[in-house]
Structure 1
Amino acid sequence: MGDFTSALGMLYWTIMIMVTITSVLGNGFIVFVNGDLWFQNRKMVLCDILLSALSTSRCLSQFVVLMNNGLQFVFSENHLNSYRHNVLFLVWFFSEIVSIWCNTWLNVFYCVKVTNFLSRPFLWVKTRINVLTLKLLGMSIVVSLIFSLPSAISYYDQKKWCNRTGRQTLNASQSKVCKDINTVFLLPQLCVFTINFIMNITASILLLISLWRHTRNLRNSGIGVKDLNTRGHVNVIKSLICYVFFYLLYYAGMIIYANHVTKLSEIAIIISDTLSSLFSLSHSIILILTNPKLRNWCAYMLNFRWRAS
């Protein structure tokens, strides 16, 4: 998005800067709180490890997107074929892989911990989820990166050829040689996003079903709607529905991103980047509001600042 002087460009940059800064503050707050608790206790529970890794990778991803767009504004089209762009893309790609897998396994972790389905495979996983989660997270990231290696090798081989020829040949058999790095990595990105989408939606639906059943049982047992347990479950259901809504928007943004890569649409860039940043922001807010430690810290800091002012 290089045309900053246009009305569309100014709107894009205004939205991106506001959303990115707020998202970094939200995710940075999660990292700060968990880091402070780790420093005090010298240990961190699995949930906090996943939250910290997720928030750190999201902060890095947001910084890279903003930096890349800024460099594209300064250097225009020359930036897209530069070494800077390639390095930033690889850093973004790695941080995005880490963040989406952390997000997925965090969602699966919550689902397995909270839900109660009477089946042997599920009960087996439930008793071992604490041990399995980090191993599965590490394996998922490693496998995703290994799956992306052919694309990386293909791109840099093509890059060498393009540097030697200095131009793109018109020969039909060689017309795909000088590809943009976004195009080359499109297939592994879509595969990882799709796998995570299926896992996330499945875990969210199972969690919603379990919470809804439990809430219904509480109401049928004669406990009023104003009961704290019932209200707590209802609030979690609302938060989960919000998460699913923004996650669907995020996945839609990834599809639009794929369309941008193939058709180079300026509108697609705006929508894709905005939806991605919006999901990072909204999810960090949901995590803070639904996590007692983070919520209490946030309330304490806001109250402290309000009194200080």
Structure 2
Amino acid sequence: MLEFSEGMFLVLLVILFILGNLGNGFLGLVIGSSWFKSKKISLYDFIITNLAISRIVLLWIIFVDGFLMLFSYETRHSRTVTIIIDITWTFTSQLSVWLATCLGVLYCLKIVNFSHPTFLWLKWRVSRVVVWILLGALLLSCASTISLINEFKIYNVLSGIGTTGNETEHFKEKQSEYDLLHVLGNLWHLPPFVVSLVSLFLLLLSLGRHRWKMQQNGISSRDQSTKAHKRAIIILISFLLVLMLFLVSFIIFSLSRFLPDAKLAVMVGEVITMLYPTLHSFILILGNHKLKQTLVAMLPCEFGCLKPGSKEHVSP
């Protein structure tokens, strides 16, 4: 029989799992159908598609992990299951964060206007720059996964010592080393966070300069460039907020061993973790006019009906 906290955790886990799969599945299906019809795909669509796929995988990993924690705690903490979950969780979470960061960089290079030669060079070669960032993101995601090898080695040592029931000074040292590596593993999320902050700063600076020029020329600031700036800024701020929640969940996981109720702390952490891939998918949908229009057209008429556009092509 599940306790109240476990029952609430299961309900939230299922709700977020369903919503996250619906949101990311919608992104993948709409862009995939557009790709199939036009026989070509833009860089934006490519990033969104892979982002949706990586987050669906991440949602399944979190759901399976939470399910095992409730109904098969011993299986969850077996060596094989722990290694599989940690590897897939680390790789997909890192990749999804970097893909969202690349999306922010793409918004920035497409929208921001600066006359500096370096920025103009980057803007003229935006596709090449973002592709190189994507390749770097893939390498960093692999590197963060490979870095788990040391954790697994120490985990095996701790498991071997734990079975003897002899918690010596060596055991405590290894436990401290394992906890330190676990905390330092969170630093892999710092580079994409910094890159997103820089992209947001450039967008804000560009918007301020653009509005100032429009006011100097006596022109209304309600033009397409201003709208594009504001939409990109809202999306980036929303991403940074949900990413901060994502980082908070990893801090909770790292500190759970030191809390009175470690299992409850892990359950809270997993719910917060699921908010990231779920909320951001709907932020992307609502931040894109054509995606939002397609979503509204699919809803029942009680919520409002819109005639779908002639040919869907999703772009920033």
User: Per the shorter chain, which TM-score range?
Assistant: 0.7 to 0.9
8 Å Cα contact 2:286/2:292 also seen in 1: yes
Query: Which SS does the other structure have where 2:113 is aligned?
Result: coil
Segment drifting more, 124-133 vs 80-89: 80-89
Partner of 1:94: 91
Cα distance in structure 2, aligned partners of 1:228 and 1:99:
29
Structure 1 residues 185 and 57 mapped into 2: Cα distance closer, same or farther (>3 Å)? farther
Shift of 1:151: 3.0
Cα distance in structure 1, aligned partners of 2:181 and 2:138:
16
Partner of 1:199: 195
Partner of 2:256: 260
- Counterpart of 1:249, as a letter, is L
Cα distance in structure 1, aligned partners of 2:264 and 2:105:
34
- Counterpart of 1:6, as a letter, is E
Cα distance in structure 2, aligned partners of 1:115 and 1:149:
36
Shift of 1:88: 2.1
Shift of 1:236: 4.7
Query: Residue 19 of structure 2 is aligned with which of 19, 22, 44?
Result: 22
Does residue 103 in structure 1 map to residue 100 in structure 2? yes
Query: Which SS does the other structure have where 1:33 is aligned?
Result: helix
Structure 1 residues 228 and 130 mapped into 2: Cα distance closer, same or farther (>3 Å)? closer
Structure with greater contact order relative to length (CA < 8 Å, sep ≥ 6): 2
Shift of 1:76: 2.1
Shift of 1:205: 2.3
8 Å Cα contact 2:25/2:52 also seen in 1: yes
Cα distance in structure 2, aligned partners of 1:37 and 1:92:
30
Using the size of structure 1 for normalisation, the TM-score is: 0.83
Using the size of structure 2 for normalisation, the TM-score is: 0.81
Shift of 1:12: 2.1
RMSD of aligned residue pairs (Cα, Å): 3.3
Shift of 1:77: 4.0
The size of the alignment, in residue pairs, is 304
Query: Residue 186 of structure 1 is aligned with which of 155, 162, 182?
Result: 182
Partner of 2:206: 210
Cα distance in structure 2, aligned partners of 1:154 and 1:203:
33
CA shift digits 1:55-101 (9 cap, x unpaired):
11111101110111101211124521342232122111111121011
Segment drifting more, 163-172 vs 46-55: 163-172
Query: Residue 170 of structure 2 is aligned with which of 170, 173, 177?
Result: 173
Structure 1 residues 142 and 288 mapped into 2: Cα distance closer, same or farther (>3 Å)? same
Partner of 1:251: 247
Shift of 1:300: 2.2
Partner of 2:41: 44
Shift of 1:116: 1.5
Segment drifting more, 11-20 vs 59-68: 11-20
Structure 1 residues 67 and 165 mapped into 2: Cα distance closer, same or farther (>3 Å)? closer
Query: Which SS does the other structure have where 2:255 is aligned?
Result: helix
Structure 1 alignment gaps of length 5 or more: none
Shift of 1:176: 4.8
Cα distance in structure 2, aligned partners of 1:40 and 1:74:
45
Query: Residue 10 of structure 2 is aligned with which of 7, 13, 22?
Result: 13
Shift of 1:212: 4.0
CA shift digits 1:115-167 (9 cap, x unpaired):
11222222222122201212321222223423542431551475278459843
Shift of 1:276: 2.4
Shift of 1:195: 1.4
Segment drifting more, 109-118 vs 98-107: 109-118
Cα distance in structure 2, aligned partners of 1:166 and 1:90:
24
Shift of 1:244: 3.4
1:11-160 map, 5 Å: 11-152=8-149, 155-156=152-153, 159=156
Shift of 1:252: 2.8
Structure 1 residues 41 and 228 mapped into 2: Cα distance closer, same or farther (>3 Å)? closer
Query: Which SS does the other structure have where 2:2 is aligned?
Result: coil
- Counterpart of 1:102, as a letter, is L
Does residue 292 in structure 1 map to residue 292 in structure 2? no
8 Å Cα contact 1:23/1:59 also seen in 2: yes
Cα distance in structure 1, aligned partners of 2:185 and 2:87:
12
